[in-house]
Amino acid sequence: MSNIRLFYSKSLSLNLTDKLDKSQSHYVSKVMRLKEKEVFSLFNSSGEWEAKISNITKSIVEFNVTKQLRQKENIKDLWLAFSPIKSNYFNFMVQKATELGVTKFLPIIFERTIVRKINKERLEKVIIEAAEQSNRITVPSIEDPQKLKSFLNNDMDLIFTDLNTANTKIDLTKLTNKPTCVIIGPEGDFSEEEREEILEFNGVQPIKINENILRSETAVISALSIINYAIN
């Protein structure tokens, strides 16, 4: 079987017959040069399935699902709350966070946020590509930008990356079955009012991830790595 993995947004089941969209068909037939009767895999939150090419007509790939390869994953929800940053760094951050297991992205507009709009469609493509590459079945969702007050209404365990704390370890006994969310500040850091508001959140754990001041995308990778190590 080839190592081609494609996200399929519709329902998957044994013996399903369908066509890939134009972009995926081009990738399979022109870039990867698969032929009729060759196989690739399709995945979504229901699992991963083997698909065999039944026909290629006018560069559109038709396929038939032949067997299930993996079942639905039961994974812990890991959220990332962050301030939007410049496009190239933003794409990189979202890609790496997807590889590190984030299940939901929550952009927040802080007082010192510089970039206040996101290209959600572009980011969704980056997320899907990262999920395909990293062998994930689940594809993370991304919410519209929101204010901090709205974000803090979520029911979650909150890990607060705080430069001002002396704590460097996560207390696992404080984590529940709720989603675990790590919050990363903007390039100019949290305002004192925002910091106080976050620290008032029930069950929040402030943690210093490094003595140095990190770029946003570096802080995301560092924090997620620490959390993954702690909870897995």
pLDDT above 60 for 108:
yes
Q: Where are the domains of the chain?
A: 5-71, 78-231
pLDDT of residue 1: 53
CB of 134 closer than 8 Å to CB of 99: yes
pLDDT of residue 41: 96
Same CATH topology for 5-71 and 78-231: the answer is: no
CB of 37 closer than 8 Å to CB of 43: no
Average pLDDT, the chain: 92
Our CA dihedral for 57, 58, 59, 65, rounded to 10 degrees, sits at -30
Mean pLDDT of 63-80: 91
pLDDT of residue 2: 63
Domain made up of 78-231: CATH architecture: 3-Layer(aba) Sandwich (3.40)
Whole-number Å distance between alpha carbons of 179 and 14: 32
Cα separations in angstroms, 102 against 26, 91, 127, 136, 202: 29, 14, 10, 11, 22
pLDDT above 60 for 133:
yes
Instruction: Name the phi and psi angles at 208, rounded to 5.
Output: -95, 120
pLDDT of residue 126: 96
pLDDT of residue 120: 94
Lowest mean pLDDT among 9-13, 71-75, 99-103, 147-151: 71-75
pLDDT of residue 65: 97
pLDDT above 60 for 38:
yes
Identify the sign of the CA torsion 46, 50, 54, 60.
positive
Nearest to 108 by CA among 182, 186, 214, 188: 186
pLDDT of residue 203: 86
> pLDDT digit string (tens) for 139-192?
999 999 999 999 999 999 999 998 888 888 888 888 888 999 999 999 888 999
User: CATH top-level class for 5-71?
Assistant: mainly beta
Nearest to 112 by CA among 142, 85, 81: 85
